[in-house]
């Protein structure tokens, strides 16, 4: 397979790389080591530059006013966007805009008016509600939140867990059991406004790094039948498709901070002298750096392969899971080795490694754990569905 960049892709990468190095990284000199925001003036300036570059909301299709960038190029760009200190937490400080959930493009006209267009204009924020206290790995069985039909509406009771951004969102897509007799075919996706009576953010859950997520409860939350996204009973397939697509850029983002960590480690190994010689002359250090290269190049290739398959309309679930697993784990190893090469300085908040070390850890859990990626791949490989 040819993974060489086209001329246009190379131009896009060069432009984004220059932007990150010359516009984004300098802003980090003065922010807190765990900071994730720059001043409103700088945010506005960065966003205007991105709009001038024609890359604002890059995944939004042309017919909806965006540049409609394909998934392969977006995967390449995702790796560039995170190559700064706050990169994994806040890629380019949000300068490229927050895209709406892709399934809204297939929503009804009424839903598009109410949610898609405002989301594209960034007037409405959303959250993704799949996981529940009873488990996130096996939602087909774990979803206990129940919707019961009542005339032209549905009454929802239950709750969700770990929903990132739900406390500031205007709406969410939640996956709820509408028919307990039908297993995964009994799960339906609903779009719910967060100001619906009965919707409650019970608490914020502080997690590793400067981040929190939420615990939600729904008590007799009444929503119209028109709140169903897609088909009744089609929610599980929608969630799986959403996750399989999302995992690819999610994986590539991890490579960005790992690539940056590796470049810093290469430089440091040449500068730092111990026992009269630079670290770079030691075989043990050389091998760490070579292992970094192997991790970065192999996982990048797998991520691009997954994106190319998805773009061609071929089955890509196996490759998407492999990319998620490999990129998150390889990036964790690269950051760990790079820290080691920096010695004590690698532990300090003067350098970004300790922040990345915490932030990358979450990526082996979020969007499906490493074990669940293996479960998905094993099912495809062996054509079995274990435990069901």
Binding positions for ligand FAD, rule: CB under 6 A: 127-131, 135-137, 162-164, 207, 213, 362, 365-366, 368-369, 371-372, 375
Q: Which is nearer to ligand FAD, 131 or 269 (CB)?
A: 131
Cβ 137 to ligand FAD shortest distance, Å: 3
- Catalytic site residue from 44, 263, 367, 371: 367
Q: What is the rounded CA–CA span in Å between residue 283 and residue 276?
A: 15
The residue among 207 and 377 lying less far from ligand FAD, judged by its C-beta, is 207
Closer by beta carbon to ligand FAD, 130 or else 327:
130
Closest residue to ligand FAD, based on beta-carbon distance: 136
Beta strand 211-224 with 153-161 is antiparallel
Under DSSP, the state recorded for 132 is: B
Q: With contact defined as beta carbons under 8 Å apart, do 251 and 258 qualify?
A: no
Closest separation in Å from C-beta 338 to ligand FAD: 23
Q: Nearest-CA neighbor of 101 among 50, 47, 65, 59?
A: 59
User: Between 163 and 321, whose beta carbon lies closer to ligand FAD?
Assistant: 163
* Residue 197 Cβ vs ligand FAD, minimum distance, rounded to whole Å: 23
Q: State the minimum distance, in angstroms, from the CB of residue 88 to ligand FAD.
A: 12
**Closest distance to ligand FAD from the beta carbon of 234 (Å):** 17
Q: What whole-number distance in Å separates Cα of residue 182 and Cα of residue 185? A: 5
DSSP 118-165: HHHTTSS-EEEE--BTTBSS-HHHH---EEEEETTEEEEEEEEE--TT
Residue 213 or 321 having the CB closest to ligand FAD = 213
- Kindly state the smallest distance separating residue 320's Cβ from ligand FAD, in Å: 15
**What b-and-e string marks burial along 304-319, b requiring 16 or more CB atoms within 10 Å of the CB?**
bbbbbbbbeeeebbbb
Q: Which is nearer to ligand FAD, 132 or 305 (CB)?
A: 132
Shortest distance, position 325 Cβ to ligand FAD, whole Å: 11
Give yes or no for a contact between 93 and 38, defined as CB atoms under 8 angstroms apart: yes
Distance from CA of residue 272 to its chain's centroid?
Answer: 35
Nearer to ligand FAD, 235 or 346 (CB): 235
Residue 367 annotated among the catalytic residues of the structure: yes
Instruction: Give the distance, in angstroms, between the CA of residue 90 and the centroid of all CA atoms in the same chain.
Output: 11
Is the Cα torsion angle 181, 232, 127, 137 positive or negative in sign? Answer: positive
Sign of CA dihedral 201, 205, 211, 217: negative
Show Cβ contacts of residue 163 under 8 Å, excluding neighbours closer than 6 positions: 127, 128, 129, 131, 172, 213, 214, 216
CA distances (Å), origin 282, targets 47, 262, 270, 275, 277:
44, 17, 10, 11, 8
Distances from the Cα of 352 to the Cα of 12, 80, 229, 297, 348, angstroms: 26, 16, 41, 22, 8
Nearest to 363 by CA among 262, 253, 256, 270: 253
Q: Catalytic amino acids? A: 367
């Amino acid at each position: 397979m040819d993974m060489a960049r086209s001329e246009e892709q190379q131009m896009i990468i060069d432009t984004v790389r220059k932007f990150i190095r010359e516009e984004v990284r300098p802003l980090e000199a003065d922010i807190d080591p765990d900071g994730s925001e720059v001043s409103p003036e700088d945010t506005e300036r960065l966003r205007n530059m991105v709009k001038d570059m024609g890359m604002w909301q890059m995944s939004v299709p042309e017919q909806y006013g965006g540049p409609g960038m394909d998934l392969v190029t977006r995967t390449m760009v995702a790796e560039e966007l995170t190559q700064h200190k706050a990169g994994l937490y806040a890629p380019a400080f949000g300068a490229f805009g927050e895209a709406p959930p892709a399934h809204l493009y297939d929503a009804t006209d009424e839903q598009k008016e109410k949610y898609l267009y405002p989301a594209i204009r960034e007037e409405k924020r959303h959250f993704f509600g799949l996981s529940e206290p009873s488990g996130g790995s096996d939602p087909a069985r774990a979803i206990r939140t129940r919707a019961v039909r009542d005339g032209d509406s549905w009454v929802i009771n239950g709750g969700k867990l770990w929903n990132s951004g739900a406390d500031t969102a205007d709406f969410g897509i939640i996956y709820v059991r509408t028919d307990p007799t039908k297993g995964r075919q009994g799960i339906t996706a609903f779009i719910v406004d967060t100001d619906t009576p009965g919707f409650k953010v019970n608490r914020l859950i502080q997690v590793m790094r400067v981040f929190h997520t939420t615990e939600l409860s729904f008590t007799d939350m009444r929503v119209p039948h028109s709140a169903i996204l897609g088909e009744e009973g089609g929610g599980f397939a929608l969630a799986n498709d959403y996750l399989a697509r999302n995992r690819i850029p999610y994986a590539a983002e991890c490579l960005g901070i790992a690539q940056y960590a590796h470049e810093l480690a290469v430089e440091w190994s040449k500068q730092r002298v111990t026992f009269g010689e630079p670290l770079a002359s030691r075989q043990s250090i050389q091998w760490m750096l070579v292992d970094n290269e192997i991790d970065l190049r192999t996982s990048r290739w797998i991520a691009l392969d997954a994106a190319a398959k998805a773009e061609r309309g071929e089955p890509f679930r196996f490759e998407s899971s492999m990319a998620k697993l490999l990129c998150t784990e390889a990036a964790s190893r690269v950051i760990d080795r790079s820290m080691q090469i920096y010695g004590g300085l690698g532990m300090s908040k003067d350098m970004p490694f300790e922040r990345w070390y915490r932030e990358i850890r979450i990526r082996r859990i979020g969007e499906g754990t490493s074990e669940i990626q293996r479960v998905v791949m094993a099912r495809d490989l062996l054509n079995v569905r274990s435990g069901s």
